[in-house]
Amino acid sequence: MNMLHGHVAKPGEPQEVRDAPLGGGEAGTTSGGHVARAGVIDVSHNVILYLENITVAFDGFKALDALSLSIDDGEMRAIIGPNGAGKTTMMDVITGKTRPDTGTAFLGQTMDLTRMSEAQIARAGIGRKFQKPSVFEQASVLENLWLACAGDRGWFPSLRHRLAVGQRERIEQAMETVGLAAERDRVAGMLSHGQKQWLEIAMLLIQEPKLLLLDEPVAGLSDEETEKTAQLLRQLAGRHSLIVVEHDMHFVAQLQCRVTVLHQGSVLAEGDLETVQSDARVIEVYLGR
Ligand SMILES: Nc1ncnc2c1ncn2[C@@H]1O[C@H](COP(=O)(O)OP(=O)(O)OP(=O)(O)O)[C@@H](O)[C@H]1O
Ligand SMILES: [Mg+2]
């Protein structure tokens, strides 16, 4: 039996995934052979994301090569590794943009990500922030957040009158969380690069994601903005699970979280930053360059 589902099947344990849009009925029926190996993946905690043996090949080149990884509910995890290690490809697999050739990918206990569309995965609670902020420059901070509330229902000017009380609260809360409440009426195009990044994070928070994926969130930010971003992400951990891909080791240190080093499409090392930084293989392929 798959250890993850063995763990999950215990009666009385909280069911963290309620609304599987697709494939929910197939919980526990991962294809045969993908059995978690004790000692490889720690499934003793409440797991929010579970990847096992994921392989993605482009014309025979393995961007991901039997990648196995598990993230606990509420955990923040930093992913580091050299260019081409497969970090972005891993996010593409998690969000359904790329289908793995082999392997298992689960959100929570029941959602088989390899059987869901990108839209279904987003609705199921995985939010992704790309490196370049994609806020609407002509719109104010508040209008950007209304837009995020509208989600895939589309945007029209009368939206503000149609927002439910709960949505208004979520907007206020998201603005407070990212420190943009005082900038609510400013046009997003006038914000600093860091503020735009935070606005985009706020737009993701509106969707109340279970898991947030952030690809190089502090690239191009000032030291002060980088520090504020680390603070913000630390604050989000617990309520959300986070996967943060970053090359900036100073920032990774500020996240104070577990670190996974990817290399050639699989996990090279994992542990606290100090441990992986002193790992000879990590120094050789990445940090020592
Ligand atoms: N669509 C694609 N077609 C062919 N090769 C690809 C494709 N996407 C990624 N690759 C290759 O897969 C490997 C992993 O790329 P990926 O973008 O995941 O690396 P990364 O760890 O995010 O690197 P970086 O730190 O530079 O962002 C690279 O060698 C890349 O050239
Ligand atoms: Mg990348």
- Say if residues 107 and 113 touch (Cβ distance below 8 Å): yes
Which atom of ligand 1 is nearest to 247's Cα? 25
In angstroms, the CA 172 to CA 86 distance is 36
Instruction: List the residue whose alpha carbon is closest to atom 1 of ligand 1.
Output: 58
Instruction: List the residue whose alpha carbon is closest to atom 12 of ligand 1.
Output: 63
Which atom of ligand 1 is nearest to 89's Cα? 18
Query: How many CB atoms sit inside 10 A of residue 205's CB?
Result: 23
The pLDDT score that the predictor gives to residue 289 is 60
In angstroms, the CA 149 to CA 207 distance is 7
Which atom of ligand 1 is nearest to 81's Cα? 21
Q: Among all ligands shown, which has an atom nearest to the Cα of 65? A: 1
Could you tell me the distance, in angstroms and rounded to a whole number, from the CA of residue 97 to the centre of ligand 2? 14
Among 69, 87, 216, which residue has the most ligand 1 atoms within 8 Å of its CB, making it the best to mutate?
Answer: 87
Write the Ramachandran bin of 192: left for phi over 0, alpha for psi from -120 to 50, otherwise beta.
Answer: beta
Could you tell me the distance, in angstroms and rounded to a whole number, from the CA of residue 213 to the centre of ligand 2? 12
Could you tell me the distance, in angstroms and rounded to a whole number, from the CA of residue 30 to the centre of ligand 1? 27
In angstroms, the CA 197 to CA 238 distance is 21
What residues flank ligand 1, with Cβ below 6 Å? Answer: 58, 63, 81, 83-89
Q: Among all ligands shown, which has an atom nearest to the Cα of 92? A: 1
- Global pTM? 0.83
Helix/strand/coil for 221: coil
The pLDDT score that the predictor gives to residue 132 is 77
Could you tell me the distance, in angstroms and rounded to a whole number, from the CA of residue 233 to the centre of ligand 1? 25
The pLDDT score that the predictor gives to residue 159 is 57
One pLDDT digit (tens) per residue for the chain, 289 residues: 344 433 333 333 333 333 333 333 333 333 333 334 444 455 556 999 999 999 999 999 999 999 999 999 999 999 999 999 999 999 999 999 999 999 999 999 899 999 999 999 999 999 999 877 789 999 999 999 988 887 655 555 455 556 777 888 999 999 999 999 999 999 999 999 999 999 999 999 999 999 999 999 999 999 999 999 999 999 999 999 999 999 999 999 999 999 999 999 999 999 999 999 999 999 999 987 6
- Say if residues 51 and 104 touch (Cβ distance below 8 Å): yes
Which atom of ligand 1 is nearest to 216's Cα? 27
Q: Give strand ranges (E) for 17-159.
A: 47-58, 61-72, 76-80, 102-107, 111-112, 126-129
Which atom of ligand 1 is nearest to 84's Cα? 19
Render the burial of 230-264: b for 16+ CB within 10 Å, e for the rest: bebbeebbeebbbbbbbebeebbebbebbbbbbbe
